[in-house]
């Protein structure tokens, strides 16, 4: 997995620029349009990304200053949820830019030595891992927006190339299960997915023989996030020894 934080930050910048450029052309109807994220409009997806950017920036600032992050999450979410759709879009662009710029402002020593803490993790992580969490969220929700208007939308290649190697760590957080294997060929990786009382996605020897699935890297990322849906790109891949329905049940999305 890529450990250079600057690569993750550059991908975050690119994802930010793409989504902000797209959203800038949305009228009120587009902002109110259902997104691909269940029960959320496009504006609500942007609100979620905006509040996440605000919280993420506060976490980074606290880490740089050597103090505990004390963000009142409920207050942040409540404030963003109360915004009108147009304000959600406008404030998202500002908050997201500020988060990316905060990452970009870190010097080499900070990038190497900072260890931010997240409430759902047992120990602090490095900046590359933190930026990776944000890129995963940003890329998937960017797809939620893009795919609401473009039936051929896929995850951005630069994001997918980085995120595919994060899937072993993420699967334990999002999956549930029977033994299956997945293999994304672009970029080429081979994993075994174990679905039982616990969940694991691990690199596997090329000769390992169980059910197999050849799938693009970006589609594997969408699959584990519950976004490889019937009728959408790569949803017609043909697994050998299993079905996509089984895998979709294992990964209901978030």
Q: What is the pLDDT of residue 86?
A: 98
- Length of the chain counted residue by residue: 254
Q: Are residue 129 and residue 169 in the same domain, yes or no?
A: no
Residue 243, in any domain of the structure: yes
Rg of the chain over Cα atoms, rounded to whole angstroms, equals: 18
Taking 90 as the threshold, does the pLDDT of residue 183 lie above it?
A: no
Task: Give yes or no for residue 28 having a pLDDT over 80.
Answer: yes
- What average pLDDT does this structure show over 31-50? 96
Question: Treating both helix axes as pointing N-terminal to C-terminal, what angle do 42-64 and 73-81 enclose, rounded to 10 degrees?
Answer: 150
The average confidence (pLDDT) of the chain is 86
Q: How many structural domains does the chain have?
A: 2
- Strand, helix or coil for residue 154: coil
**pLDDT-based confidence at 178, cuts 50/70/90?**
very low
For the segment 186-197, the average pLDDT, to the nearest whole number, is: 64
Identify the CA nearest to 153 among candidates 161, 162, 164, 144.
Answer: 144
More confident residue, 92 or 226: 92
Angle, nearest 10°, between helix axes 42-64 and 85-105?
Answer: 30
Residue where a domain terminates, one of 153, 176, 203: 153
Q: Which of 121, 153, 185 is the last residue of a domain?
A: 153
Give pLDDT, residue 247: 73
What is the rounded (10 degree) CA torsion for 192, 193, 197, 198? 90
What is the reported pLDDT for 129?
Answer: 94
- So what's the pLDDT on residue 173? 53
Residue with tokens 């979410």: 77
**Same domain membership, residue 115 and residue 12:** yes
Distance separating the N- and C-terminal Cα atoms of the chain: 23
Same domain flag for 144 and 200: no
**94-120 average pLDDT score:** 95
Strand partners, 202: 192
The fraction of the chain above a pLDDT of 90, given in percent, is 59
| pLDDT of 65 strictly over 70 | yes
Torsion of CA 130, 135, 140, 144, to 10 degrees: 120
What is the Cα–Cα distance from 49 to 160, expressed in whole angstroms? Answer: 18
Least-confidence region, from 65-69, 146-150, 153-157, 181-185? 181-185
Asked whether residue 158 is assigned to any structural domain, the reply reads: no
Determine which of 148-152, 162-166, 232-236 has the lowest per-residue pLDDT on average: 232-236
Q: What is the C-alpha to C-alpha distance for residues 11 and 168, in angstroms, rounded to an integer?
A: 20
Q: What is the CATH number of the domain that holds 139?
A: 1.20.120.450
Task: Quote the pLDDT of residue 97.
Answer: 98
Which residues lie across from 195 on neighbouring strands? 199
Q: Which residue has the higher pLDDT, 114 or 215?
A: 114
pLDDT of residue 8 exceeding 90, the answer is: yes
Same domain as 139, residue 37:
yes
176 and 108 in one domain?
no
Which residue, among 147, 102, 110, has the nearest Cα to 126 in the 3D structure? 110
Per DSSP, the three-state class of 199 is strand
Which range of residues forms the domain containing residue 197? Answer: 163-250
* Shared domain check, 73 and 14: yes
Residue 228 near residue 197, CB atoms below 8 Å: no
pTM for the structure as a whole: 0.82
Q: Across residues 195-202, what is the average pLDDT?
A: 66
């Amino acid at each position: 997995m890529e450990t250079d934080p600057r690569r993750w930050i550059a991908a975050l910048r690119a994802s930010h620029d793409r989504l902000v450029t797209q959203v800038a052309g949305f009228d009120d109807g587009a902002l109110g349009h259902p997104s691909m994220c269940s029960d959320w409009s496009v504006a609500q997806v942007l609100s979620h990304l905006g509040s996440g950017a605000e919280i993420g920036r506060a976490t980074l600032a606290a880490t740089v200053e050597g103090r505990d992050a004390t963000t009142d999450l409920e207050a942040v979410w409540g404030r963003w949820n109360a915004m009108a759709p147009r304000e959600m879009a406008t404030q998202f662009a500002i908050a997201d830019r500020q988060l990316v710029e905060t990452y970009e402002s870190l010097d080499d020593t900070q990038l190497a030595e900072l260890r931010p803490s997240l409430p759902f993790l047992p120990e602090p992580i490095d900046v590359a891992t933190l930026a990776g969490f944000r890129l995963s969220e940003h890329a998937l929700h960017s797809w939620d927006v893009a795919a609401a208007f473009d039936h051929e939308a896929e995850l951005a290649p630069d994001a997918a190339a980085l995120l595919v190697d994060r899937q072993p760590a993420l699967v334990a957080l999002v999956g549930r299960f029977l033994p299956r294997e997945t293999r994304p060929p672009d970029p080429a990786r081979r994993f075994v997915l174990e679905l039982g009382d616990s969940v694991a996605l691990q690199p596997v020897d090329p000769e390992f023989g169980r059910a197999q699935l050849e799938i693009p890297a970006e589609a594997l990322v969408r699959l584990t996030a519950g976004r490889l849906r019937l009728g959408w790109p790569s949803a017609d891949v043909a697994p050998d020894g299993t079905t996509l329905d089984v895998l979709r049940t294992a990964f209901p999305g978030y």
